Chain A
Amino acid sequence: MNLAEKILASHAGLDHVEPGQFINGKVDVILANDITAPIAIREFWKFGLEKVFDPKKIVFVPDHFVPNKDIASAEQAKILREFARAQGVNFFECGQMGVEHVILHEKGLVVPGDLVIGADSHTCTYGALGAFATGMGSTDIASAMATGDIWMKVPPTIKFVFRGKLPKYVSGKDLILHTIGDIGVDGALYAAMEFAGEAIERLSLEGRFTMANMAIEAGAKAGLFYADKKAVSYAKGRSERKPVVFEPDADAVYQQIYEYDVSLLEPQVALPHLPSNVKPVSQVGRVYLDQVVIGSCTNGRFEDLQSAAMVLNGKKVNSNLRCIIIPGSQQVYLEALKAGYIEIFIQAGCAVSTPTCGPCLGGHMGILAAGEKCLATTNRNFVGRMGSPKSEVYLSSPAVAAASAIVGKIVSPADLS
């Protein structure tokens, strides 16, 4: 069995599973946010139950419209808060929280081997730790909050092998953008993506989180990594729960195998209006920017801010644009502060915000006007994603975003020197 099959079989109490098989899996973590939890709660009450199956396994993170941008979003957050307090479920309040897919593993709520479901499509992020993590809707979450299990169809797995050494300024974001550019936004539809190869073994855990995060942008159900020593020691230092390491069998079956040599790969940019519309940065042409956003569940971790700070150190943001930097969690914010990065950002003329998903989905804190162009380290560039349907969003790594903020148009950090 491959990685996805092993984790799913274990949670379904089966020795063996195959693609296409319907299983019922016991879940370790159930997640919802300020957009999806209100519907999940509304549906949960229809069961006539008084209590959720296990509050310790449920996590609510209000992160999309927080700090609340208007009365309607404040009412939504209040629904989560009140339910969480009454039921005793994990709840991360503004001021102690962050973007859901940055804090769940940071706070040790997810460990290798887990089955995680979340009412957010980027729940697949936790595949970086060797967990089977997948996004669903609110009704599925309501049902799981009642019973502690979830029905699933075992997906086929597509394997992606990355050989060679990553060049300077080429990161996990570039690997995943390159992959999505190659296979398309439905290239892994209904499938799991399993990432392997020497470039992945050398990649930081943060780079793996970025890659797993964007598996959904290829239509995948999950993006999975083998939990190596890096992943296990990361989890051990944060959780009392024991990591369970699953390893794909040598004779595991894959629907397809893609192999890439990354040693000559350039930083990648996704052009409007699909994450698969990818070009190497040198072929993007002259794209003048109105806004740069560095943050989100894709690239709002410490390593991402470090990468941006290295480029922005001693430089100024171009006067034709605004650069918004959003640490993914209070912990990331604090570490960046201690490392001097926040000062670098402010000296460079960036706006630094408390953690929020706001701009990524056109919620608040960085909305685009008609005709404006933004380069973001986020995960989607659909029409209207960050504001006006007549605006344009480009996607890149933090290093490319920071360099472009300085120059005012999309460039590689290598072009700065």
Chain B
Amino acid sequence: MLKGFVHKYGANVDTDAIIPARYLNVSTPDELARHCMEDIDLEFVSKVKPGDIIVATSNFGCGSSREHAPIAIKASGVSAVIADSFARIFFRNAINIGLPLLESPEAVSATETGDELEIDLASGTIRNTTRGLSFSAKPYPEFMSQIIQAGGLIEYTRLKIAGGNTDK
């Protein structure tokens, strides 16, 4: 069960906003986390607490393929991102490194900054305990669930290399 307070943003939060390219001359998670969300929310880094949840409207993570973006979010302590929709590469990168993403426009529209959320990843249930509301996120495609169950793409591929049966 994931639990934390909400930091809410709007549409098209791009990878330059999540981690500006001027900091990409390094790739250590802790250093990247120090600048997470800097260009749209200078205070995010000082406000964010372990377990917190980012909520945004459509097309979260658009732009660059830089995996530094989900890495920075995860390293800053954020436990999950909920949005109306995610940009394709960001979605893939986040799943690959084990940052949970949930699509639920209903949960997004009923949630504001400061609300407390509880997320049950197995069932995709999102509970807004501040407002007493409950939502269901769109389930992961079967194939992606396999990657998540394996513990991320590296573990999934390790199984494949070892000849393990990764297909259903």
Residues of A within 8 A of B (CB): 22, 35-36, 38-39, 42-43, 46-49, 64-65, 69-70, 72-73, 76, 118-121, 123, 135-140, 142-143, 146-147, 151, 153, 185-186, 189-190, 216, 219, 221, 274, 361-363, 367, 380, 382-385, 387, 389
Contacts and interface: CB of A to CB of B under 8 A. Distances in A.
Contacts of B142: 22
B154 A185 contact: no
A137 B25 contact: no
A76 B27 CA distance: 9
Interface in B75-102: 85, 87-89, 92-93, 96-97
Given A73-B25, A219-B59, A39 B68 contact: yes
Interface of B: 12, 14, 16-17, 20-22, 24-27, 39-40, 58-59, 62-68, 70-71, 85, 87-89, 92-93, 96-97, 141-143, 152-154, 156-158, 160-161
Contact of B25 (A72, A123, A136, A382): A72
Given A383-B16, A383-B17, 13 more contacts: A69-B25, A72-B25, A72-B26, A73-B25, A121-B63, A136-B65, A138-B93, A151-B143, A186-B12, A216-B89, A219-B88, A362-B20, A384-B39
Question: Which of B71, B96, B97 is most buried by chain A, counting CB atoms within 10 A of its CB?
Answer: B96
B14 A219 contact: no
Contacts of A383: 14, 16-17, 39-40
Contacts of B96: 137, 139-140
A19 to B, nearest CB: 13
22 contacts: A35-B27, A46-B158, A47-B154, A47-B157, A64-B24, A69-B25, A73-B25, A121-B65, A135-B65, A139-B152, A140-B93, A140-B96, A147-B160, A186-B59, A362-B16, A363-B22, A382-B14, A382-B17, A385-B16, A385-B21, A387-B22, A389-B39
B161 A380 contact: no
Contacts of A119: 65, 67
A216 B18 CA distance: 18
Nearest to B20: A384
A219 B87 contact: yes
Nearest to B97: A139
B157 A76 contact: no
Leading 6 A-B pairs by shortest Cβ distance = A137-B93, A137-B67, A361-B21, A72-B25, A73-B25, A139-B96
Contact of A186 (B20, B24, B25, B58): B58
Contacts of A121: 63-65, 89
Nearest to A20: B141
Contacts of A73: 25
Nearest to A138: B67
A70 B24 CA distance: 12
Contacts of B92: 136-137, 140
A185 B12 contact: yes
Nearest to A118: B65
Contact of A185 (B17, B40, B62): B62
A151 B167 CA distance: 12
B117 to A, nearest CB: 24
A130 to B, nearest CB: 21
Nearest to A38: B27
A28 B168 CA distance: 26
